[in-house]
Structure 1
């Protein structure tokens, strides 16, 4: 937890933001999910309606939910595009109660009605816990079931037996595994990205499953092609008002988060000028800009080095060279970040490289996330993960799917052949 959703750094040493490098928070499944969560206010029955009201009035959302977001208007008020959404739950109990309230509002029986024990004994959130092995055994009918989990919890090796009525839902892969940050004076240090590396527990588990059963997909196709999946980002923190005013002057600031594409850049630089402040503790006289590059393993136009070998200061020199900024900058720090698997979910693949959400031979387990198969849906946005979770719970627990989900899951032979490739 916290590997991707974080806000690191400060105004003195430079912020390190992950913006623009996560699944895009957009799509019908996201709206459906937000529309199923009660807002806690009588005037706004759901979180989605609260966000819609906030957008209409250009006012921040209810601070009770600790929700921070920037919205862009689209052609349809119902089809919101959220550029930045962080929903904070105060405690584990809040999260569990939120789940139950959501189910009750939709007219379904409470989750606790189906549990073998009382609610507080049936729900347990384990933190500081790593799954080291998943034991899959054959059932009497020939199907496979997860029968045991090997865990390291708080530093101790333990075993969790899976009862016959239990289900196991696993998220496969990780686009942020192996990421590393540099400083204003040093380039990011590349970390090992071997599939079994301790940083990549999600990949290691998938690789272990793949050796047991080919129907679980091919993780090697996604986690070992660094040259094709690598992406780099950077965060500029500046107290130089002249630099900020210059950037605003060349950007169309009618919409929040204007993106400037530097087409002549060998790195294929993209620079975002977001609405300020970006961080809650950011001083008023400090500005944060972020950007990314599609080809970090090429030499720059102005700095004759591979981007992955550049310090933050050298990256800023390259950016300003393309922009034609006439003077030196002051009081500015740039933090670079390398992400070797950031676009791995979009690599060219065969039809069997991504596993089904619930494999045909599985009895009590399913897969979710950006590396499982939904034939007619792009894995680039956050709604993909939401839809996979809805399908997994529907097929394993009998929970009805949302109405629109059936359209997403319909497939034809031609749609199954659609391959996505980032570059």
Structure 2
């Protein structure tokens, strides 16, 4: 171990904080007992959640897709975390071995209003779409500013197979940032030719909580990391003057307001903002509720106001719920009836396909059947699948209500009608438990922004504060990925401790001539 005497406090227990703690231990020789992870909830993992049982139903708020070729720092981290099932094997090796046996190749990426699988190999572009895409890729970000995607592309673009697939794979909306779409097009350029099969998706053996968070948690526990659960950080005090030095942390524990005085050597690493904050679950008989700002957004609001221009502008992300929300749902099935029907319909066994998107759905709905079991405690005769709708304020095509007003039973009814499974509707509903989830900030990181709205990982003038997660700035990288959170954590730890070690660079596929030619050819399919 190193000879450090200072303490490190991570605010938030998501993957960014867990990764940061692991990098401190692995790469800096930092004592685990001097690392403190403070989490408001009773469970770690942040947006990497996954919980439930046969009786109450399982819940995954979000679907997360990994990529072997772009998640450079995530894989580097997981290569040194032992597997829960075989400690002689790393989590990375475990995932890669599983993915090799269960490769992804979707045969039913898009479904039309008649319940028919669409040939999605054609992107559906016209020359205007191709020119707009090429110009977007080469236009500097500073020239795009706060431009929205629908201010760059014409109406035809949003009726193409490409948009249906790209939007639902990455959860883009027409009103989201054109800068972010540009970054995605460059970062995932190698996926462009195979977006209709999603062959580039890397799957974990179970949901990401069971497959990634639990092994990370155990690794940190074994190194003595302190976990403060059910503890909410409410504010930070700064030393007077122009610089940024945190002197005191305010928090609430067991309903009591408290404060912790910090030395100048102590470090504070904050996950500012949260995609899944204020999430709400419904049930088969009740819709979820729509809530507003919670503690992570309130904390960022408070500290940003104290240091104008240095800690970002949270209002660009947390004041637009109507543009950043969507609704997911997790369905627990007793027996395999639905899975049997779905595998026959899609021509994919569970875990070999990808998102099945109902492109004409008013809710713009998609579902995915993962390899079973998807949870460590899942019984053999129970099956679980996940889905979501990008337009929760729209009225359904069969259930004439807004998705956000629907119960789990009504969402399942709408889905079964799109699949044309009406002849078994009653039986399928009777054997299922559909739990809807409203997430008001799930795509807040995609909202239009200007330079400075997302703060630097280590802000200018900071001596002991860093910001990590989805709402700080890394040039050229893309938010809404596990990689972004892990990369921010690695940058924060290395910079604050003055560690001179390399960080895995971003793969620059836009400079690879083969990738460029393959992508150009795909645009003419």
Q: What SS is found at the alignment partner of 2:229? A: coil
Question: How far did 1:368 drift?
Answer: 0.4
Q: What SS is found at the alignment partner of 1:144? A: coil
Question: How far did 1:17 drift?
Answer: 2.4
Which residue in 2 is equivalent to 1:245? Answer: 340
Question: How far did 1:392 drift?
Answer: 0.8
* From 272, 290, 303, the counterpart of 1:209: 303
Which residue in 1 is equivalent to 2:233? Answer: 131
Is 2:426 the counterpart of 1:329?
Answer: yes
Q: How does 1:372-411 map to 2 (within 5 A)?
A: 372-405=472-505
Closer, same or farther in 2 for the Cα pair 1:90/1:394, shift >3 Å? Answer: closer
Write the distance in 1 (CA, Å) between the matches of 2:65 and 2:239. Answer: 34
Q: Normalised by the size of structure 2, how large is the TM-score?
A: 0.62
1:195-242 superposed Cα distances (whole Å, 9 cap, x missing partner) = 3xxxx1111110001111222111111112011101101122223644
1:27-75 superposed Cα distances (whole Å, 9 cap, x missing partner) = 111111112335699995744334444555x4xxxxxxxxxxx775999
Q: What SS is found at the alignment partner of 1:367? A: strand
Write the distance in 1 (CA, Å) between the matches of 2:386 and 2:86. Answer: 38
Closer, same or farther in 2 for the Cα pair 1:239/1:342, shift >3 Å? Answer: same
Is 2:281 the counterpart of 1:181?
Answer: yes
* From 48, 53, 73, the counterpart of 1:29: 73
Which residue in 1 is equivalent to 2:442? Answer: 342
Write the distance in 2 (CA, Å) between the matches of 1:128 and 1:404. Answer: 34
8 Å Cα contact 2:67-2:201 kept in structure 1: no
Question: How far did 1:288 drift?
Answer: 1.7
Question: How far did 1:173 drift?
Answer: 0.2
Is 2:389 the counterpart of 1:268?
Answer: no
Question: How far did 1:5 drift?
Answer: 4.1
Q: Provide the aligned length of Structure 1 versus Structure 2.
A: 361
Which residue in 2 is equivalent to 1:67? Answer: none
Closer, same or farther in 2 for the Cα pair 1:288/1:52, shift >3 Å? Answer: closer
Is 2:192 the counterpart of 1:95?
Answer: no
8 Å Cα contact 2:238-2:247 kept in structure 1: yes
Write the distance in 2 (CA, Å) between the matches of 1:43 and 1:186. Answer: 43
8 Å Cα contact 1:221-1:353 kept in structure 2: yes
Write the distance in 1 (CA, Å) between the matches of 2:416 and 2:454. Answer: 41
Q: What SS is found at the alignment partner of 2:483? A: helix
8 Å Cα contact 2:99-2:202 kept in structure 1: no
Closer, same or farther in 2 for the Cα pair 1:216/1:88, shift >3 Å? Answer: closer
Question: How far did 1:306 drift?
Answer: 0.5
Write the distance in 2 (CA, Å) between the matches of 1:276 and 1:41. Answer: 17
Is 2:402 the counterpart of 1:359?
Answer: no
Closer, same or farther in 2 for the Cα pair 1:257/1:339, shift >3 Å? Answer: farther
Q: What SS is found at the alignment partner of 1:320? A: helix
Bigger helix fraction: 2
Closer, same or farther in 2 for the Cα pair 1:256/1:402, shift >3 Å? Answer: farther
Write the distance in 1 (CA, Å) between the matches of 2:86 and 2:288. Answer: 49
Is 2:48 the counterpart of 1:48?
Answer: no
Runs of 5+ unmatched residues, structure 1: 59-69, 99-119, 409-423
8 Å Cα contact 2:84-2:215 kept in structure 1: no
Q: What SS is found at the alignment partner of 1:288? A: strand
Q: Normalised by the size of structure 1, how large is the TM-score?
A: 0.76
Is 2:54 the counterpart of 1:11?
Answer: yes
* From 278, 286, 311, the counterpart of 2:374: 278
Closer, same or farther in 2 for the Cα pair 1:278/1:407, shift >3 Å? Answer: closer
